[in-house]
Amino acid sequence: MMGRGCKSNMDQTGNAHSWKQTLVAYRHPRVVTMLFLGFSAGLPLLLIFSSLSLWLREAGVDRSTVTYFSWAALGYSFKFIWAPVVDKLPIPLLSRWLGRRRAWLLLAQMAITLAILWMAFTDPAQTLMPMAFAAVMLGFSSATQDIVIDAYRIESAGEELQALMSSSYITGYRIGMLVSGAGALKLAAWFAGGPEYDYQAWQWAYIWMAAAMAVGILTTLLIAEPVAENRTSRYLNTLGDYLRFLSLFGVTVCAFVLVFAGCGELAQSLKQNMGGVGGFFIEAVRLLVALGSAWLAARLAIYAGVARRAVFQETYIEPLADFFQRYGKTALLLLVLIGLYRISDIVLGAISNVFYQDMGFTKHQIADITKTFGLIMTIAGAFLGGGLSLRYGVMRILLLGAFLSAATNLLFLLLAQSGPETSLLVLVIAADNLSAGLASAAFIAYLSSLTNISFTAFQYALFSSLMTLLPKLLGGYSGSIVDTIGYSNFFIMTALIGLPVMLLVWLAGRKISARERPE
């Protein structure tokens, strides 16, 4: 079965959608649904990162320990490892009642809610281990929710709505992040009796965040299961088959985690004598070694009879083989494009808050302009990107997004030379966030078009993990790069590394158009 392809978004007469048709399409029930599911997906993220970090610091936890908690979100980058479990395994009773996608979605949302409540009823000033386990549970369950939502979006509507559904999802996601970021902090401040640490204030803030997950749970119960082809495994028929498959999955994940964590001290010692780029390559090698170890562990488990070889083949090999079979040599080009498309804005974003502070902007200015106003611009960009993609086609807007993502980074160069000019910061944030929202909406629609609906969960999870993995690894060393070359040269560098992305988009569009052209 072929994937959706990257065809132009034209109506049946061969003409582009009018703006009136585009605006009407935004009211489609599936598009509106993605707004609420996006909110449910965006809510947990900052409860692991910024909100939790501030809570831990107020509780007297040292900085180095606080940073370890960010590992709880590793599930977002490696969710493709257990995506086949979501794709293949039914949930007893729930799958029969709700359907496979909605059953997994409800299970993930309930797990998210329980994890947030677990965090709420744990005082990090008294004990850290339960909080660490709760944070890991939250990261794992929210990454699982992302897998299901992505699969649901792709399966529930045709290609003509994917761009609008992507923009609606981004909007909901950003609102969810605002609620769990600024919202949680304001609630904690409101419940607190004074400036000193107040556990009950944070407890009530997280309880309200758990209550906010009702938005996603109610949406899951009200929506319909997408109509898609049967995803039942050819080899998973009995309880024993399912248990052996889960054992294979457990062996694979444990091997990856143990090797990745075990190489941490060695990687850290090697990075101390190297620059930012050298440290990036050390982390990349560490990641490859961990993935290779997971692959080897899976093969050994199959050899030992833990699971059948045919199950492993169907679960991991067939989705990859399908992608390369459909796109041939172009598949490598597409994977490189996926891995590099967001590199300009993610690498810059990793150090943006530090840059604003170094330039002399106050915390209130950073919060009001870069967060609140920036959110509005991102949402506007997402809706604009969805509408333009529907009207002019995804590939054209993908190219426009690549150009704007690189070009707007040069505006930061002006800001670095002018100092704390508030009006210039507003201009820079408006341009940067608007282009980021536009590019993201087009890119999510593009990734959706590359998936085969027979392997939706695994292929999209792989694409979305690859989309952020390399840029985030490099972004982690943006501070070292700035120390070496300075802010001005750094912003020029982030713009320049975006130029090859434009070439990749152009080549990908040309290659795929040639493949779809009738002979």
Where are the chain's structural domains?
A: 20-232, 236-307, 311-519
Q: In 10 A of CB 197, how many CB atoms? A: 16
Using an 8 Å Cβ cutoff, are 394 and 163 in contact? yes
- Nearest alpha carbon to residue 229 among 433, 452, 37: 452
- What is the C-alpha to C-alpha distance for residues 365 and 308, in angstroms, rounded to an integer? 58
Confidence (pLDDT) at 2 = 41
67-86: per-residue pLDDT in tens?
566 666 667 777 877 788 78
Using an 8 Å Cβ cutoff, are 290 and 473 in contact? no
CATH fold match for the domains 20-232 and 311-519 = yes
Q: Own/partner pairs for 314-321, CB < 8 Å, 24+ apart?
A: 314/233, 314/234, 314/235, 315/84, 315/88, 315/233, 315/245, 315/458, 316/84, 316/458, 318/455, 319/84, 319/452, 319/455, 319/458, 319/459, 319/462, 320/462
Residue with tokens 């003509």: 160
386-418: per-residue pLDDT in tens?
888 878 888 999 999 999 999 999 999 999 988
217-237: per-residue pLDDT in tens?
999 999 999 876 555 566 666
Architecture of domain 20-232: Up-down Bundle (1.20)
pLDDT tens-digit profile, the chain (519 residues): 344 444 434 443 334 555 566 666 667 788 899 999 999 999 998 898 778 877 888 888 875 566 566 666 667 777 877 788 788 778 888 988 999 899 999 999 999 999 999 999 999 999 888 998 999 899 999 999 999 999 998 888 777 778 888 889 989 998 999 899 888 888 988 898 777 889 999 999 999 999 999 999 999 999 999 876 555 566 666 667 777 777 877 888 788 878 877 887 777 777 666 655 566 677 778 878 888 898 898 888 888 888 778 777 877 788 889 999 988 889 999 999 998 998 888 888 877 877 887 888 876 777 788 878 888 898 899 888 888 887 888 899 999 999 999 999 999 999 998 888 899 999 999 999 999 999 988 898 888 888 887 788 788 888 888 887 778 777 766 777 787 888 899 999 999 998 999 999 999 988 877 666 554
Look up residue 125 and give its two tokens.
């000033």
Using an 8 Å Cβ cutoff, are 137 and 423 in contact? no
- What is the C-alpha to C-alpha distance for residues 214 and 113, in angstroms, rounded to an integer? 9
| pTM (two decimals) | 0.77
* CATH 1.20.1250.20, domain 311-519, yes or no: yes
Confidence (pLDDT) at 444 = 86
What totals of helices (H) and strands (E) does the chain contain, helices first?
A: 29, 0
Confidence (pLDDT) at 26 = 66
Residue 58 neighbours by CB under 8 Å, 6+ apart: 197, 202
